[in-house]
Amino acid sequence: MEFLAKSAQPEKHKSGCLAITLFDGGALSVSAKKIDDASEGAISKIVKLGDFSGASGQAMLLPAPAGIQAQRLLLIGLGKLPVSAKSFRSSMSSALSRVISSKTKDLSICFDGVDVDKHDIEWMVAQTGELAATTTYTFNQFKSKEQKKAINLTKLTFLADGKKQQTALTNAANNAQAIGNGMNTTRTLGNLPGNECPPAYLAKEAKKIAKGQKKLTIKVIEEKEMKELGMGALLSVSAGSDQPAKLIIMEYKGGKKNDAPHVIVGKGVTFDTGGISLKPGGDMDQMKFDMCGAASVLGTMQAVVEMDLALNVIGVITAAENMPSGGATRPGDIVTTMAGLTVEILNTDAEGRLVLCDALTYVKKFKPASVIDIATLTGACLVALGNHTSGMLGNNDEVMDNLRFAADSTQDAVWQLPMGEEYMRQLDSPFADMANIGGRNAGTITAACFLSRFTEDYPWAHLDIAGTAWISAGPKKGATGRPVPLLTQYLMNQV
C-alpha cells in the first residue's frame, strides 16, 4: 500500500474517496465545514436528518455531493472532544473497514480540526497509516484462485495544510508504512504453517530483509557451533526434531561506530508439540504461532531498515522446533546452559525459556545498551492479562519505563508484573542449579525469573506476548503483528 502526504484543500482534491471527521452531536471538523460549504450544506442536512451523529465508531460512505472533486465521501464519527487515543484508533479502524468493503482504490483523509488527547496530527497520521496497512492485509497464498478476495484500496493520501505540514506528515506516513510493513511481515510468518516455516525458513527471511542493505548483516549460527559455545539448553529443545536449530543474528549499524547497540531477542519455536510433555490435541494447530516473538524481531528489523534509523540495533532469533521422538529431551533430564548453569527439565513444554536463555547469554558479548526479549512464553500470561495486554518484567526500571512510554504512544499495551526472591525460590531444584518450571502458581513471573538469571550483566526487559501475538478464533484468526509497533517506537525514541 502506498502512503503519501499532499498540500491541498479537501473540496478541491481529486480522489476515489475523501474522508472527513465529525464529533458528538454532529459537530463538524474544519475539513467537514469546508466540504459542507462547498456542497451547499450537504453534510449539515445528513446530520439534521439524524442519519449521522458523529458518535465514536460511526462511519458512513456516500456518493460525493456536488461541489467537491472526490468520487465518494466518507464520514467518520470520532465522538467527544478531545478524542481519546483508543477512541481514535477504534473509529479509524471502523472507517477503514467500511472503505475496504467498497471499490475505492485511493482514499484521502484530512485531520484539520481534530483534537486527540495528548497527541498531534503526526501521531494521527502514523496510527491511521499503520491501521490501513494492517487492515488491508490478506493471507491467502494457500487458497485456490477462486477463493482469493482482492482488496481494491492501494493508496492513502493525508491532506496537509501547507508545505511545512506536508513535510511533517510525509515523515509520519513513511514511518507508518515501515511499521505497517513490518507488522505484516510478522503476521505472514506467524500465519505460515509449521511445514512451510521451519527454523531454516526464518534464516532465509532474515537474509531476504538484509539483501542489498549495507547497514544490515546476517550471521546464522548452526548446531555444530552451538555445541562448541555450550548452548545445551537451546539444543535440548531441537533434540527431538529433524529440523536443525538456528541462532540468527541481524546486526544493523545505523548509529555511531562505538555506540552500544539495543538488542531484541525473539523466541522462534516454529512448532511446539510440547515435546515428550505432549500438549493436548485440541488447538495444537495454533502452536505454529509459537515463533511470533521471532517474527516480531524480523518485522521490527525490517521497519528499522526501511526507516533508516540512526541507531545500532541487533535482532536475535532463537529458532527451533519442539518435537517428540526417540532423541527428544525427557522430563527429568539435566542440561548445561551456555552460562554454565545447570537446568533440570521438569516439563519439556516449558521450552521457550530454554531457547532464550542461551541467546541471552550470547548477547552479552555486544555490551548492549538494553536487551528486550519477546516470547509467547506462558499460558499464565493469557489467563492474567487476556488478549489485550502484553506482560512486562525486567531488571531495569528505565528500560521498562521507556517501553511503557512507547506503549502509551502506540496503544500496543503492556503491564508490568513483579519479580522477587520469593518467586525465584519456586525454581529451586535438588538436582541442578534450577528447574525449568516453578509450579502452577505465578507461571509468567517464574518464567521471567528463570530468564533473569542470564541477564544480570545488562539492562533487560521481558515481554510475554502469549495473549497478544495472535487471535485464536473467528474471522480474524491469525497473527496480529504485535508488538512490532511497540518495539519500533521504543527504538525510535532511543535515537
Q: Which positions are catalytic?
A: 279, 353
Q: Are strands 390-394 and 460-464 parallel, antiparallel or unpaired?
A: antiparallel
Task: Using the structure block, give the residue that is written with the C-alpha cell 474517496.
Answer: 17
Task: Using the structure block, give the residue that is written with the C-alpha cell 506503549.
Answer: 407
Using left for φ > 0, alpha for ψ between -120 and 50, and beta otherwise, residue 269 falls in beta
Secondary structure (3-state) at 340: coil
Angle of helix 292-307 versus helix 163-191 axis, rounded to 10: 150
CA distance 485 to 491: 10
CA distance 473 to 283: 10
Looking at the DSSP assignment, which residues form a beta bridge with residue 76?
A: 21, 59
Radius of gyration over alpha carbons of the chain, in Å?
Answer: 24
Residue 351 vs residues 148, 187, 206, 237, 474: alpha-carbon distances, Å: 37, 22, 23, 6, 28
**461 near 396, Cβ under 8 Å?**
yes
Other CB atoms within a 10 A radius of the CB of residue 50 amount to: 8
* CA 138 and chain centroid, separation: 16
**127 near 89, Cβ under 8 Å?**
yes
**412 near 482, Cβ under 8 Å?**
yes
**330 near 278, Cβ under 8 Å?**
no
Written as nine digits, the cell of 63 is 456518493
**280 near 329, Cβ under 8 Å?**
no
Q: Give which of 309, 320, 311, 307 is closest to 353, Cα–Cα.
A: 320
Written as nine digits, the cell of 181 is 510493513
> E strands of 222-297, at which residues?
246-253, 262-272
What are residue 404's phi and psi, to 5 degrees?
A: -65, -40
Task: Using the structure block, give the residue that is written with the C-alpha cell 548452548.
Answer: 231
CA distance 174 to 31: 23
Q: Are strands 478-479 and 370-375 parallel, antiparallel or unpaired?
A: unpaired
Angle of helix 397-410 versus helix 484-494 axis, rounded to 10: 120
Secondary structure (3-state) at 479: strand
Written as nine digits, the cell of 74 is 466518507
CA atoms within 13 A on the CB side of 425: 3
